[in-house]
């Protein structure tokens, strides 16, 4: 758990400061998450793989529409696999929508045209997975 927390903190700090998510942090995590998700899917539990695919497709479409950066697309498979593995596709949908809402609110408060989206994605994933766990509520 501690490495995942440190990874999330590093990504948030970097994205806020530099307005980008570095490949050295996003790509290895995405590869590892997809490998585990594929393993689970072959073992009969496809929710992590479905979550990774769903969040990546949504962010990929936003990237193509010029509404999101490539780093956010590379962050999506990891967060999608974690959230999907914990709570299935419904949890991923909630996290994706929550990330969008957090980003919109942040932009309104900051009065800026652009704000980093990575911290909102990470915060939404933590809320969707972590809050129910902290309250002792099962997601699946």
Q: Which domain holds residue 118?
A: 2-134
The pair of structure tokens assigned to 35 is: 């490998």
- The C-alpha atoms of residue 126 and residue 113 are separated, in whole angstroms, by 25
| 120: in domain | yes
| 140: in domain | no
Domains of the chain: total: 1
Buried residues in 27-39 as b, exposed as e (16+ CB within 10 A) = bebbeebbebbee
CA separation, residue 17 to residues 21, 57, 65, 71, 77 (Å): 10, 26, 24, 14, 23
| 79: in domain | yes
pLDDT tens, residue by residue, 75-84:
999 999 999 9
Provide the H-helix boundaries in the chain: 2-18, 23-42, 47-64, 70-110, 118-134
Q: Tell me what pLDDT residue 139 has.
A: 62
- Residue range 52-63: mean pLDDT, rounded: 97
| 60: in domain | yes
Neighbours of 56 (CB within 10 A): 23
Whether this model's pTM surpasses 0.75:
yes
pLDDT tens, residue by residue, 94-136:
999 999 999 999 999 998 778 999 999 999 999 999 887 767 7
Q: What angle do CA 80, 83, 88 make, to 5 degrees?
A: 100
- Residue range 12-37: mean pLDDT, rounded: 97
Backbone angles phi, psi at 137, to 5 degrees: -105, 130
Q: Tell me what pLDDT residue 130 has.
A: 84
The residue among 54 and 66 whose pLDDT is bigger is 54
The residue among 138 and 106 whose pLDDT is bigger is 106
Q: Tell me what pLDDT residue 131 has.
A: 80
* CA pseudo-torsion sign 122, 76, 85, 107: positive
- Residue range 33-56: mean pLDDT, rounded: 97
Q: Give the rounded percent of residues in the chain with a pLDDT score beyond 70.
A: 97
Q: Tell me what pLDDT residue 1 has.
A: 81
Is it the case that residue 63 has pLDDT exceeding 80?
Answer: yes
Among 74, 40, 28, 38, which residue's Cα sits nearest to residue 55? 74
Is it the case that residue 26 has pLDDT exceeding 80?
Answer: yes
């Amino acid at each position: 758990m501690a490495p995942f927390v440190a990874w999330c903190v590093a990504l948030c700090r970097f994205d806020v400061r530099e307005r980008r998510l570095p490949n050295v942090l996003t790509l290895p995590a995405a590869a590892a998450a997809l490998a585990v998700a594929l393993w689970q899917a072959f073992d009969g539990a496809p929710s992590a793989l479905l979550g990774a695919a769903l969040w990546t497709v949504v962010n990929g479409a936003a990237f193509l529409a010029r509404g999101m950066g490539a780093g956010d697309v590379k962050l999506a498979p990891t967060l999608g696999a974690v959230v999907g593995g914990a709570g299935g596709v419904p949890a991923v949908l909630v996290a994706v929508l929550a990330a969008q809402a957090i980003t919109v609110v942040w932009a309104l408060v900051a009065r800026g045209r652009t704000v980093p989206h990575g911290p909102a994605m990470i915060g939404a994933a933590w809320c969707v997975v972590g809050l129910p766990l902290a309250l002792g509520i099962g997601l699946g």
